[in-house]
Chains A and B, each alone.
Chain A
Amino acid sequence: DGGITQSPKYLFRKEGQNVTLSCEQNLNHDAMYWYRQDPGQGLRLIYYSQIVNDFQKGDIAEGYSVSREKKESFPLTVTSAQKNPTAFYLCASRVAHNTGELFFGEGSRLTVL
């Protein structure tokens, strides 16, 4: 079945460590996105990629980094510079940027101790 796979589902890390969240899609979508979800707030866009080897900052990119070396994969690294990293992270994709509905993964919950 086509879809988006995020891993791990739950992740615990100590303060000051970088962590990388995986996002893989087999939908043949060009565009991929990372969102952050916090209680009491709407989803906020961290980074997005319109095509392989290209990515753009979203509204809250500080403390995060991404890469897009393959069409299927868009990993997100939460660096130690991110001041409040504990959150639910959602990866999404769609056919092309600004086109079509978003398809989301099941999310990764990061807790920094």
Chain B
Amino acid sequence: DAKTTQPNSMESNEEEPVHLPCNHSTISGTDYIHWYRQLPSQGPEYVIHGLTSNVNNRMASLAIAEDRKSSTLILHRATLRDAAVYYCILRVNAGNNRKLIWGLGTSLAVNP
């Protein structure tokens, strides 16, 4: 299975941008890149996803490298509520199914 690699932890200051990297060098052409985040003592929540083009939504932006072997989740202005574990996930085809391959996540600390 294709997999993702993320730094264990990162730190940011409040109101500054945060760039969370993810490597997925074995990604195949039909695999989507998804990001979820998990706040303390909660279940994960969806952040964003993309295939080839960069994507923006109200929560974040996703920048995907041209060769698709890496991507970066961008939080434009970090707040204290953004402190969470951020998971980079590949959605791969598995027969008639699509399977999510979860990474280990990056624990983001936001300093006031």
Contacts of A97 in B (CB 8 A): 97
Asked if A40 contacts B104 (CB within 8 A), the reply is yes
Contacts of A40 in B (CB 8 A): 104
Complex Cα spacing A90 to B45, Å: 12
Given A98-B98, A102-B36, residue A42 in contact with residue B104 (CB < 8 A): yes
Asked if A98 contacts B97 (CB within 8 A), the reply is yes
1/0 contact trace for A83-98 toward B, CB 8 Å?
A: 0000000111000011
What is the distance, in angstroms, from A61's C-beta to the closest C-beta of chain B? Answer: 14
Number of interface residues of A (CB under 8 A): 20
| Interface SS, B side | strand
Given A98-B97, A98-B98, A102-B36, residue A43 in contact with residue B104 (CB < 8 A): no
Contacts of A101 in B (CB 8 A): 46, 49
Residue B43 at the chain A interface, CB threshold 8 Å: yes
Contacts of B46 in A (CB 8 A): 101-103
Closest to B47 in A: A101
Residue A75 at the chain B interface, CB threshold 8 Å: no
1/0 contact trace for B22-41 toward A, CB 8 Å?
A: 00000000000000100001
On A, residues with C-beta under 8 Å from B are 4, 6, 40-45, 90-92, 97-98, 101-107
On B, residues with C-beta under 8 Å from A are 36, 41-46, 49, 87, 89, 97-105
Could you give 24 example pairs across A and B, Cβ below 8 Å?
A4-B43, A6-B43, A40-B104, A41-B104, A42-B89, A42-B101, A43-B100, A43-B102, A90-B44, A98-B97, A98-B98, A101-B46, A101-B49, A102-B44, A102-B46, A102-B100, A103-B45, A103-B46, A104-B44, A104-B45, A106-B42, A106-B43, A107-B41, A107-B43
Apart from A42-B104, A43-B44, list 16 A-B contacts with CB within 8 A.
A6-B43, A41-B104, A42-B87, A42-B103, A42-B105, A43-B87, A43-B102, A45-B99, A45-B100, A91-B43, A97-B97, A104-B45, A106-B41, A106-B42, A107-B42, A107-B43
